[in-house]
Amino acid sequence: MRDTAVVPRAATGESSLARAVRVLEAFTPEEPEPTVSELARRSGLHVATASRIVGQLTAHGLLGRGEDRRVRIGVRMWELASRASPTRSLRDAAMPYLEDLHAVVGHHVQLAVLQGEEVLFLERLSARDAVVNYSRVAGRLPLHISSSGVVLLAYGPPELGDRVLARPMERRTPATITTPERMRAVLEQVRRQGYALLAGHVHENATGIAVPVRNGLGDVVAALSVIVPNDERAAAAVPALLAAARGVSRSLPPRGPADQPA
């Protein structure tokens, strides 16, 4: 019995706040209601530590617990995040146009922004009988896969394009863009025609069409897109999309949201 006797704390050198964040990051769309043990495993924390952190956050309403003791994101956290979110002005400005667009085109209408090197979907309206769609609100998708991503890439900073092109691109369907040459050609075409139309890149039966949304300064701050069936009528949605994007731009507050990725 020597050093082992009692080792109250291994020198981790990590702040306690960082651990709490690790717990929050352990929530995934696939498992929205994990147990304390699962959270501990995923965050790499000791079970006791995870239990304590969950207890504290629950006391403040940021987390919630079911009768089976499973942990959920708390309504209070949603409230805090939604209330003052920088995405709110964008969403508020876009919502009426999303509705109009949805009424005309049907299926799925979405609003997305660039976040890191992925697309983050802020809002989505879906018809009950719409075609398949893998995106969801607060969900992410790789840039090269979706029409929204291609638009944000085409109008985004050049170094972002370099980074994305340098990496291998996952294939989802035979139509998915997977080579830098092909992507460069597509981006050039998007910039020329002002929209992206990707037929069957995410799913065989679906076509994504996306257009850029600009703020008062002309910067592209978001992408507006529709997902429609993959047939010859798909392109008919383009004019409505372009018109809607202009409407959103006009409704945007002058100092547009230009949130830099973390």
Question: For binding to DNA (CB under 7 A), which residues are involved?
Answer: 4, 6-19, 35-38, 45-49, 51-55, 69-70
Site string for its own copies, 131-150 (x = CB under 8 A): ------xxx-----------
Q: What does 162 bind: its own copies, DNA, none (CB cut-off 5 to 8 Å by kind)?
A: none
Surface-to-core class of residue 139, CB atoms within 10 Å of its CB (0-12 exposed, 13-18 middle, 19+ buried)? middle
DSSP 122-183: EEEEE-TTPPP----TT-EEETTTSHHHHHHHHHS-HHHHHHHHHS----SSTTS--SHHHH
In the complex, the smallest distance separating the C-beta of residue 255 from DNA, rounded to whole angstroms, is: 15
Q: What does 28 bind: its own copies, DNA, none (CB cut-off 5 to 8 Å by kind)?
A: its own copies
Site for its own copies in 190-249 (CB under 8 A): none
Please list, in sequence order, all residues whose beta carbon lies within 8 angstroms of the beta carbon of residue 109, skipping any fewer than 6 positions away. 98, 101, 102, 124, 125, 224, 225, 226
Distance from the Cα of residue 15 to its chain's centroid = 28
Q: What does 7 bind: DNA, its own copies, none (CB cut-off 5 to 8 Å by kind)?
A: DNA
CB 148 within 8 A of CB 112: yes
The smaller minimum CB distance to its own copies, of residues 32 and 239, is found at 32
Query: CA-based diameter of the chain, in Å?
Result: 78
The single-letter DSSP state of residue 108 is E
The smaller minimum CB distance to DNA, of residues 33 and 100, is found at 33
Q: Which of 155, 163, 51, 177 is nearest to 117 (CA)?
A: 163
Site string for its own copies, 68-107 (x = CB under 8 A): ----xxxxxxxxxxxxxxxxx------xx--x--xx----
In the complex, the smallest distance separating the C-beta of residue 49 from DNA, rounded to whole angstroms, is: 3
Footprint of its own copies (CB under 8 A):
15-18, 20-21, 24-25, 27-29, 32-33, 53, 56-57, 60-62, 64, 72-88, 95-96, 99, 102-103, 113, 115, 120, 125-128, 137-139, 259-260, 262
